[in-house]
Amino acid sequence: MSLPKHAQIVILRIDEEWYRPMARSAVCNVVVSIKDNDIASGTWRESRCVLVCRRYEDSHSGALDGTTGSYLVLVAVQYNPDETPYEALAPGSSKRSFLPGPGEALPLQSIVLHFEGVIRVEGGLLSVSPRKHYILFSTKSPPSIQRIPWPASHDAELYEHGGTRQYGYDSWVLNEADFPWLEDPDVMVCSIFWFRGSDVESWITSDGRAYFVQLSESAYSDTNTSNPDVVGDDAGQYSTTSDRKGKSRAHTSLESITSQPSSQWHGTCIHDVEVPRWIQKRRQVDPQDSEANAHEYNQPRRAVIVAVNSRFSLIAVGTQCGTVEYTTFPTQEGAPPKPQFWVPGNFELVVLAQSSPNKPEGQVFTIPFAKSATTGLHAPIPQSYLAANWPVRYSSISSDGRLIAIAGRRGLTHYSSTSGRWKLFPDEMQEQAFTVKGGLLWFHHVLIATVEVSKSWQIRLYSRDLELSNQNVLYREMLSSPVVILSLVDNSLLVYTADSALSHYLILPTTDSIELHFCGSITFDGIIANPNAVRVLSWLIPTAQKQLGDPADDLSVATVLMMVGGQLVLLRPRKSGDQEVSYDMQILADRIEFCWIHLRGIGSLENSLWGFDGQSMRVWLNALSIEAPQLENSSNIRQEVKESVNIPIDFYPLSVLMDKGIIIGAEHEITTRMNLPFLMFRHATSSHLFLHHILLFHLAADQVREAVLFASHYQHLVFFAHALEILLHTVVESETTTNDEGQEAPGDVLRAVVEFLDHFDVALDVVVGCARKTEVTRWPRLFDVVGNPKSLFETCLKSRRLRTAGSYLLVLHSLEQLEAGNDDALRLLRSAVEAKDWQLCRELLRFFHSIDSTGDALREALAQPFMLDKPETWKMATVTRSMEPVNFTPEGAVTISFKTLVSAPLSLTTSIEKAFGSQPGSLGIVIVRDLPPAYPSLREKLMKLAYSFAHLGEPTREKYADMKSRYSFGWSHGKEIMNGKPDTLKGSYYANPVVDKPSVSAALQNAYPEYYGANVWPENENGVEDFEAVFKDLGRFVFDVGCKLAAACQPFASPYMTDSSLSLAKLIGSSQTTKARLLHYFPPSAENPLPRDSEPIDSWCGFHLDHSLLTGLCSAMYLKQDPGVIAPTVVSSPSPTSGLYIRSRGGDLTKVSIPPDCLAFQTGEALELATAGRLRATPHCVRVGAGQDAEKVSRETFALFMQPDVDQQISAGETFGQFSKRVFDEHYKEDDVQ
């Protein structure tokens, strides 16, 4: 064994978590440079470093005797606290100007490296993972996992506790018989990761799959149990995994090459990758052939790195394509991520991206997680503390939210929101003398901290009111083992330590101090396999013990709740004949990420247990009363207990607000902008009502009384009626679904719900609200149980609940139960007039107008005596008589008649408000129907001319391109930027159909050639002879309809305009900037392929806003060129997904179809600016989907942009010309306009 020549050690990275003596120097770097060799990686364990070196044959000079090999270079690391490697060069006065960053205040400490030797590894070294007592590595030929012990000269240091097992050389060859859990046994282990905190080992194999693995060595179980060091690092836990057929079976053991016949690897696949069939059929090549491997296929989803978050049982798998598997965060170049890790606190994942040829510097990404509901207060941590003690490891907030405490690498500090001040240790020596280990808790104004001081462990009590110092510690309690977790229940302090013992202390305040009274402890040795995996600790005390018992005896009767890893566990006490207490473990659920326990809940929520499993909230009501199921076989582990209530939620919960009946949490939102080549991500809060879930549990069990008592605690909430409405709707829908499946409907649940509702005043509102949100076919079942809606209407009328009666009136009309002559509606109208509820009166008049198209019902209502003696009713009558009903297309777009637009435009105010308003359901588009008969023929002529022009030769088309106007006149193809790249999917022909040559000054023409240039028309081109005339005719027709629509919009738009003197119709009618765009979407080709179904809707033409006031749109026409036919044929859309997509004001995506004989108009961004955002522009995109013969079909359409003149001011300090300049700069390259 010898070190290769020219070896020079220069850099090594030290991790403070693994090497405690170096905790004061967070990072120290040493570089290793070995001539004629490649440093594959460097890693280390405890006080030793392992450098992986590969030696290659030099084919040019013949050096290194023509051999290849891999080496493990062993370097000892020695910490010297008394020596400073170098002094700071900056003068002492610089400290007044420059402050150290987090963790940079302490000086670097000296480290000495000693070379120990080199181990040559045969077979090609792939990955190394050093452990405390041995080195684990993988080789290429043969594919194997091997283990060797550290050199024996350091046994005294490594086995300082004595009596440990000695390791020999072991080797495990990968094959199907010994590793049956491998998805493909013909692989190599490329990477080995070991996560010390969770004692989890992960492998990444050459096929891109990732596995969780663990080595079980049962032959040494007695030795391992007696030695805590071995248990922590090497002892495996037996498990059962599933084979490829899904059958559960235990893994067979693998015989070691040496003396360990029972060593056995267990594993399960956590990231599966399917290799394409064409890759599987490729011929095999020599792995050493670099030329053959140059074109080797790399599966995009193959795993390259694994990071485990032990706190949340979360795995982040970095893949070849640059994504993180728990959620997708693609890099721009698609480069695979480098090693990733969770920062202290496990709330942020740090990912280092690979450098790419065009960006060699690489990038570091921090991916955040939602932390807590109490992040509203921003209180910067003192710089002096953060500089010396970063990172922050523990934090705690008091129950009233006023006190905060944090602890970093050393010491602690706390903050009061009342005074707005932090308190620090005045004596830095006292602060640096201890480390918080286990947690922090507030008990009123007293801070409870578990600390480590000189290899001993204590519980300390500090007062917020006193200065932080050792002399002001209120109380100290010595412990024999490190603390894993703390919990506070009332005045009981629960302390769980690393020796798997739970200790109970009572906090006893006195007149001048406070102390802890030790009540007893119990050990869970043999029950909890890994004490460090405990993340939640609490207990539940029986009611009798709470009221009558001695608090010091709580430990013997308490049911202990723990979350061990992802398992939610109850430990039930059981006394034997000699009064000795033993515990039965009961696993409530697995894969739980968070849990809450409410010891003083409301009603049936007292002692309830809430757990989130990643998909739903699982609730166990009164966990103390859960019946213990029978033992499985002869073990003490009982089967899982089904939850009482399961609440599906689509966001991540952060807290349960018991007094509000709400689960509150966080979800992500992704937004896009046209001028940005990336998505914008942010967190947003979300909430979910849980009242109806709890009520449904009680009512399904026929516990009406319990449900009423529970609901009575929430009936003061403003959304209480809404929660009951959700409850009733859920039951009605579920019973209907059950009937549809041919099963017997549980009608008793609906009857129980109705009986329950009768106890509350909002019952009538709940029933009618549910009915109006339910299909009419389900009303008979609902009112069979609730009662006749006519009787409910009369009840509302008598009790003067007029608005509720109005809702029942609509139900009676739908069920055709209204009396002849509309007596019911007239009685309600009379009552509304007497109550001066004018809004209800207006709605009733609209109701009369809607039920009788002749108007007789409305005239009869207006002729009633009670309608003639009040001025308010006359005003309503005038408005109602001129009102036009709102009509919709099947997709939900508002449609109006052209005849009404001409004869009575002001009667369309309601329709326009519905189309262009800010309601969530408004689409921002209106369809104009009943157009003059000349329109369809004009549309067809121009669409076919667009097709003919697009099929002219490219040199011919480019003759009519006007570069000086930024291609805003004449032909344009591939000049506009869409989705960050030139738009070659469509060609456009721009012209002003209203004004051929604008009459403006030369200065304006030079400043804004995009609007005031001259039209460009084809001349003497075969097939497009009538292009100019037809273009102008259709453009002027759309312009005329648009001006009429603008006049009709004035009553609606005027209140929103920033300048009340502006008239929308005048801005459009007098403008010389009107622009028409004739579009030709080329058929799909190799250069312009159709989007796949999995691609986003806007992958063909991205979501965008028109920068006009109003935009007129013609229906698209699809043309197909058949062989042997000169003229194209009009065909239907080749795909049902093709067309115009609009995002409504509420964010919903809607496909809007424009009939061929109709026009559509939508709002633009200039109108949004002119109204200061009150009238929003319409986000839209165009998608051309794949279909039969789609590669032969083109899409033609026509749009007219109606906008003001460039000098018209549309917002504060900005004219339309300035605004449009910004838009052009975003969508056109600078090179194209020079």
The model's pLDDT over 848-877, given as tens digits with 9 standing for 90+, comes to: 888 887 777 877 787 676 765 555 554 555
CATH number for 991 = 2.60.120.330
Among the candidates 834, 868, 902, a domain finishes at 868
Give phi and psi for 218, each to the nearest 5. Answer: -70, -25
Q: What confidence tens digit (pLDDT) does each residue in 359-396 have? A: 656 677 777 765 554 445 567 888 889 888 988 999 99
Lowest average pLDDT, out of 146-155, 426-435, 983-992, 1003-1012, goes to 146-155
- In sequence order, the 6+-apart residues with CB closer than 8 A to the CB of 949 are 957, 971, 989, 1018, 1021, 1023, 1024, 1027, 1080
Query: What pLDDT score does 327 carry?
Result: 39
Asked if residue 860 and residue 936 are part of one domain, the reply reads no
Query: Which residue stretches of 492-566 are H helix?
Result: 543-548, 554-557
Residues 999, 1092 within the same domain? yes
Question: Cβ(1097)–Cβ(1141) under 8 Å?
Answer: yes
pLDDT at 1037 over 90: yes
The verdict on 864 and 896 lying in the same domain is no
**852 and 965: one domain?**
no
Cα 1083 from Cα 635, distance rounded (Å) = 69
Residue 769's closest CA among 822, 818, 732? 732
The CA distance from 452 to 394, in Å, is: 14
Q: Which of 107, 113, 86, 84 is nearest to 13 (CA)?
A: 113
Mention every residue, 6+ apart, whose C-beta is less than 8 A from residue 1209.
1059, 1215, 1216
Locus of tokens 């698609």: 334
Q: How far is CA 1184 from the centre of its chain?
A: 29
Placement of tokens 């917020």 in the chain: 464
Percent share of the chain, pLDDT over 90: 23
Amino acid type, 25 = S
Residues 6+ apart with CB under 8 A from 101: 387
Question: CA–CA separation, 417 vs 580, rounded Å?
Answer: 48
If you write DSSP's letter for every residue of 86-116 in order, what string do you get? ----S-GGGGGT----TT-SSPPPEEEEEEE
Identify the band that residue 816 occupies on the pLDDT scale cut at 50, 70 and 90. Answer: confident
Candidates 937, 887, 941, 935; CA nearest to 915 is 887
CA distance linking residue 721 with residue 250, whole number of Å: 54
Q: What is the mean pLDDT of residues 69-94?
A: 74
- Contact (CB, 8 A) for 327 and 316: no
Residue scoring higher pLDDT (903 or 897): 897
Q: Which of 927, 1078, 930, 1117 is nearest to 993 (CA)?
A: 1078
1147 located within any domain:
yes
The band of 648, judged by pLDDT with boundaries at 50, 70 and 90, is: very high
* 51 pLDDT above the threshold of 70: no
Tell me: do 820 and 957 sit in the same domain: no
| First vs last C-alpha separation in the chain | 69
Q: Transcribe 614-655 into DSSP letters.
A: SSEEEEESSGGGPPPPPBSTTSSEEPP---SEEEE-SSEEEE
Strands 1193-1202 and 1110-1114: antiparallel
Same domain as 861, residue 908: no
**Residue 289: partners with Cβ closer than 8 Å, 6 or more residues away:** none
Bridge partner list, 342: 349
- 51 phi and psi angles, rounded to 5 deg: -110, 130
In whole angstroms, give the CA distance from residue 1080 to residue 1159: 18
CA dihedral 273, 275, 276, 279 (to 10 degrees): 160
Cα separation of 48 and 19, whole Å? 10
Nearest to 472 by CA among 507, 503, 427, 511: 427
Give dist(CA 72, CA 3) in Å, integer. Answer: 10
The CA–CA distances, whole Å, from 279 to 284, 290, 291, 352 equal 10, 18, 18, 30
559-615 pLDDT, tens digit each: 888 888 888 888 888 776 666 777 778 888 888 888 888 877 677 788 888 999 888
- Same domain as 926, residue 803: no
Residue 1137 vs residue 499, higher pLDDT: 499
Cross-strand bridge partners of residue 1164? none
Q: Is the predicted pLDDT of residue 271 greater than 80, yes or no?
A: yes
Q: Which letter does DSSP use for residue 246 in this model?
A: S
Q: What is the DSSP letter of 971?
A: E
Q: Pick the range with the lowest mean pLDDT from 840-844, 1003-1007, 1222-1226.
A: 1222-1226
Where do the H-state alpha helices sit in 799-933?
802-814, 823-834, 838-851, 856-862, 871-881, 898-903, 909-916
The answer to whether residues 957 and 834 belong to one domain is no
Q: Which amino acid is at 293?
A: N
HEC sequence for 142-167: CCEEEEEECCHHHHHHHCCCCCCCCC
Assigned domain for 1136 exists = yes
* 644 in Cβ contact with 601 (< 8 Å): no
- Residue type present at position 309: N
The answer as to whether 302 is a domain residue is no
Do 947 and 800 lie in a common domain? no
Helix (H) or strand (E) holding 927: strand 925-929
Residue 40: pLDDT band (50, 70, 90) is very low
3-state DSSP call for residue 987?
strand
In this predicted model, which residue has the larger pLDDT, 1124 or 1194?
A: 1194
User: Does a structural domain hold residue 745?
Assistant: no
pLDDT at 873: 59
pLDDT in tens, 1168-1185: 888 887 788 899 888 776
Are 1169 and 1032 members of one domain? yes
Strands 48-55 and 37-45: what pairing?
A: antiparallel
pLDDT tens digits along 53-65:
554 444 333 333 3
Residue 1204 resides in a domain:
yes
- Mean pLDDT score, 524-549: 83
Q: How far apart are CA 1065 and CA 1044, in angstroms?
A: 8
> Is the same domain home to 905 and 863?
no
Q: How confident is the model at residue 1015 (pLDDT cuts 50, 70, 90)?
A: very high
How far apart CA 763 and CA 864 sit, in angstroms, is 33
**What average pLDDT does the structure give for the chain?**
78
What is the residue range of 1047's domain?
891-1228
Q: Are residues 852 and 950 in the same domain?
A: no
* Mean pLDDT lowest among 317-331, 391-405, 503-517, 1191-1205: 317-331
Kindly state whether residue 41 falls inside one of the protein's structural domains.
no
Q: How many domains does the chain have?
A: 2
Using only C-alpha atoms, the chain has a radius of gyration, in whole angstroms, of: 38
Q: What is the pLDDT of residues 1145-1171, one digit of tens each?
A: 888 888 899 999 999 999 999 888 888
Q: Cα(1034)–Cα(1114) distance, rounded to whole angstroms?
A: 10
Residue 409 placed within a domain:
no
The CA-atom distances, in angstroms, between 8 and each of 38, 115, 623 are: 12, 11, 64
Q: Which of 347-351, 633-637, 1001-1005, 1040-1044 has the lowest mean pLDDT?
A: 633-637
Residue 490 has a pLDDT of 85
pLDDT recorded at residue 73: 85
Cα atoms in the 13 Å half-sphere on the side-chain side of 468 = 21
Nearest to 1033, CA basis, from 1171, 915, 938, 946: 938
**Predicted pLDDT at 870:** 56
What pairs with residue 506 in β-bridges? Answer: 492, 517
**What single string gives the DSSP state of each residue in 169-222?**
-EEEE--TTT-TT-S-SS--EEEEEEETTTTEEEEEETTS-EEEEEEEEGGGHH
**In which residue are the tokens 């394409």 written?**
276
Indicate if the pLDDT at residue 219 is higher than 50. no
Query: Taking 70 as the threshold, does the pLDDT of residue 1070 lie above it?
Result: yes
Q: How far is CA 298 from the centre of its chain?
A: 28
Would you state the pLDDT for residue 1181? 87
**With 0-12 CB in 10 A as exposed, 13-18 as middle and 19+ as buried, what is 365?**
middle
